[in-house]
Amino acid sequence: MSKRPPLAKVNFYFILAAHLLAVAAVLYMCLVQFSWWSLGLGLIYGFLCSLSITAGYHRLFSHPTYKAHGILRVFYLFFGAASLQNSALKWSSDHRIHHGNVDKEEDPYNIPKGFWWAHIGWVVSQAPEPDLSNVPDLQKDKMVMWQHRNYLLLAIISVGVVPFCLGLLWGDPIGALLITGFLRLVIQWHSTFSINSVAHVLGRRPYSLANSARDSFITALVTMGEGYHNFHHRFANDYRNGVRWFHYDPTKWWVWTMSKIRLTSDLKRVPKRAIQNARERVKAELLARKMEKAAATAAGRSK
C-alpha cells in the first residue's frame, strides 16, 4: 500500500473552520436571529452553486457534452467559484485524471484507498504540482482562464461580500453570511464529495463492470442527478447522467430547458442501441460469472 501524502494544512484548517462556522450558523439562527430571507438566500445560493458544479464544471467544462452561451458560462464560473472547489480549470483537470485512471493509484480520489480518502481525505492531503496538460481546450478559453487567474478574488466576493451585502437589505448581514457563506458551503461540499465516495460503493452497475462507479437514486437525489455514476463512467460524452425517463436528473432538465431558449446547444446523446448493448453485455458477464461460480461450487462438492 502506498504511503499517504502529508496534510495540506491550509486546506485542512480552512475546511475545519468552515464546518465550525456552519455549526455557528445553526446556533445563530436558533439563538440570535432567525430570518427567512437569509435562509432563502442560502437555499437559492445552494441551488445556483450546485448547478454550476454539475452543469458547468462537470458536464460543460470537464466533459464538453454541450455548448453554452457566454452568459451561462459567466454564471457557471461565478457560482462555481462560490462553491470553493477550485477553479474550473483545475477541477476539470482533476476530473479528467479520475476518468482516465478510475480505481488506480493515479486517481486523485481513488476509492480503493478508502471511503474517507475518496470523500475528503484527498482534499486535505498535499497533492503533486498540477499538470494541466490534459485541459488544452480550457486553456484556450478566455473566460475559464480569467476565472483561474482571479479565483481567490471571485471566491471572496461570491462567498463573503455578496451574501453579507444582501443581508444588509433585510437587517441580517451576519446571518446571511453564516448561512449562505458557510452552512450552504459545507452541505454542498459533502454533496459533491459523495460522488467520489458514495457513488463508488452504493448502487448498481448496469452499464459497465470495469470500475467501481455505481448508479443510485439516493446519490442522485442529493447531487442534482450526478448519482447515475455507472452510466456516466461508461458514457461520459452524454450530457445526461440519468438517461432513463424516470431518472432524477435536474441537471439534465436544466441543460435541455436552456436549449429551448438558445442558451445551450449541441447536446450530445449516446445512441439508444449503444446503451442497450452495454446493458446486455453486463447481463451476459454477470450470467457467466454466476455459472462459473456454480460450476466451481459443484466441483468442490464432488471432491
- Give, in degrees to the nearest 5, the angle at Cα 109 between 95 and 198: 100
Q: How far apart are CA 53 and CA 62, in angstroms?
A: 10
pTM of the complete model: 0.94
Query: In tens digits, what is the pLDDT along the chain, a chain of 303 residues?
Result: 456 788 999 999 999 999 999 999 999 999 999 999 999 999 999 999 999 999 999 999 999 999 999 999 999 999 999 999 999 999 999 999 999 999 999 999 999 999 999 999 999 998 888 889 999 999 999 999 999 999 999 999 999 999 999 999 999 999 999 999 999 999 999 999 999 999 999 999 999 999 999 999 999 999 999 999 999 999 999 999 999 999 999 999 999 999 999 999 999 999 999 999 999 999 999 999 888 887 777 666 666
| Residue extents of the structural domains in the chain | 9-203
Torsion region of 282: left, alpha or beta (phi above 0 gives left; psi -120 to 50 gives alpha)? alpha
User: The C-alpha cell of 142 is what?
Assistant: 478566455
